[in-house]
Homo-oligomer: A and B are copies of this chain.
Amino acid sequence: MKNTATRDKLIDSGAQLISQQGYNATGINAVLKTCGVPKGSFYHYFSSKEDFGLAVIERFASSYDKTLVALLEDNDTPPLERLKRYFAAGRDHMHECNHATGCLIGNLGQELSGQSDTFRDALNLVFQRWEQRFVRCLQDAQARGDIAPHTAPEALASFILTGWEGAILRAKTLKSVEPMEQFEKILFQQVLVPSS
């Protein structure tokens, strides 16, 4: 397994199609067609569709983690400002995909976590890593006194991730980023404040 170009093409096409249509609605043949790879190659690199799906998740997560680090651990920017940039990036992405795609991990979490424990575990791990990035950013904010110290950063991180994923879902059905803006506004007005 030296040549990874074909494997990469498969994963890229798969990520795109699965983002748009979901896992179950995306057939292997459709993936092959969009990237012009024969079926023999697919089953050379992946043992099954599930194996392929997990690879798509893994790739997306590790790629997304890089942008997350760049946004949330940029020490030249105040922590709350970093969070705002993260939210703005999410809104931009929502516009770019015409409010259709949203968050791949969130989509698959909704679709597959009741269907397969393997997928559920993989997706859960990604969520937990994201939460950890938030925790660190919130710790910085507490250290600077930008937000009150009385709520654990872990609790806040869970609250933020949870609310943001919900806002993405709502934005998809509404075809508007308004719920995302609404969430952010109240979050910074009432939750991420110096003191209560």
A residues engaging B (CB < 8 A)? Answer: 20-22, 24-25, 100-102, 106-107, 109-111, 113-115, 120, 123-124, 127, 151, 155-156, 158-159, 161-167, 169-170, 172-175, 178-179, 182-183, 185-186, 189-191, 193, 196
Contacts and interface: CB of A to CB of B under 8 A. Distances in A.
A110 B99 CA distance: 11
Given A111-B111, A115-B21, A124-B174, A182 B169 contact: no
19 contacts: A22-B22, A22-B24, A25-B115, A100-B114, A106-B169, A107-B110, A110-B111, A123-B173, A127-B170, A151-B190, A158-B182, A161-B166, A163-B163, A165-B170, A166-B167, A169-B169, A190-B193, A193-B196, A196-B196
Give the residue among A21, A101, A173, A185 with the most B Cβ atoms within 10 A: A173
Contacts of A172: 109-110, 113-114, 120
A172 to B, nearest CB: 5
A20 B111 CA distance: 9
A162 B191 contact: no
Contacts of A167: 162, 166
